[in-house]
């Protein structure tokens, strides 16, 4: 029986993220968490003679959340421009997972045509000692895997 080698686990703290907006590439060193999910849209396909209702895939949607320390006005400025001009904005997010010493290697994913759902216009909080952060929900239209994790072996 094989066991997972603890050295192969990948820490989220070792990751890097970049945002590509209008040709500008900015490292998101102030990011706390990024999570993107792909959800399949399914439709019912009733079949005569079956008591269950089978389903089949009929598309997908991508959504995610970027949580950052409240230290950048980039996304607020983009939203302000949208409010004033009606011109929406899209960007790409590149996420790199790599743990030194792990035989898993590196994974690089790029989320394409991300579009923010909402931003915080301004924020204060005198009730906590925690640093200010903001959660930026978004959708995306496509993604690519530029680097894939290696296949790991158990010990």
| Domain locations along the chain | 15-43+55-147
DSSP state of 149: P
Mind listing the pLDDT tens digit for each residue in 13-33?
999 999 999 999 999 999 999
Q: Is 31 exposed, middle or buried (0-12, 13-18, 19+ CB in 10 A)?
A: buried
Mind listing the pLDDT tens digit for each residue in 79-122?
999 999 999 999 999 999 999 999 999 999 999 999 999 999 99
- Locate 1 and state its tokens: 């029986």
Name the band, by pLDDT with cuts 50, 70 and 90, for residue 6.
very high
How far apart, in whole angstroms, are the C-alpha atoms of residue 114 and residue 116?
7
Mean of the per-residue pLDDT values of the chain: 96
Superfamily of domain 15-43+55-147: Phage tail tube protein (2.30.110.40)
104 Cβ contact partners less than 8 Å away, ≥ 6 residues apart? 8, 10, 149, 150, 152
pTM: 0.92
How far apart, in whole angstroms, are the C-alpha atoms of residue 121 and residue 118?
9
Residue with tokens 């952060």: 133
Mean pLDDT of 56-65: 98
What region, left, alpha or beta, does residue 147 occupy, with left being phi > 0 and alpha being psi -120 to 50 degrees? beta
- Give φ, ψ of 14 to 5 degrees: -90, 0
Q: Of all helices (H) and strands (E), which one includes residue 54?
A: none
């Amino acid at each position: 029986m094989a066991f997972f080698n603890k050295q192969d686990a990948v820490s989220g703290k070792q990751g890097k993220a970049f945002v590509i907006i209008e040709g500008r590439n900015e490292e998101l060193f102030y990011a706390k968490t990024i999570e993107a999910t792909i959800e399949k849209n399914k439709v019912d396909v009733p079949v005569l003679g079956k008591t269950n209702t089978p389903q089949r895939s009929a598309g997908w949607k991508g959504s995610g959340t970027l949580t950052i320390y409240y230290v950048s006005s980039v996304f607020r400025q983009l939203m302000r421009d949208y409010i004033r001009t009606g011109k929406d904005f899209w960007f790409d997010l590149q996420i790199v997972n790599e743990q030194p010493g792990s035989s898993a290697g590196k994974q690089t994913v790029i989320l394409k045509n991300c579009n923010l759902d909402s931003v915080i216009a301004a924020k204060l909080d005198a009730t906590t000692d925690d640093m200010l952060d903001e959660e930026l929900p978004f959708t995306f239209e496509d993604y690519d895997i530029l680097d894939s994790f290696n296949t790991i072996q158990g010990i």
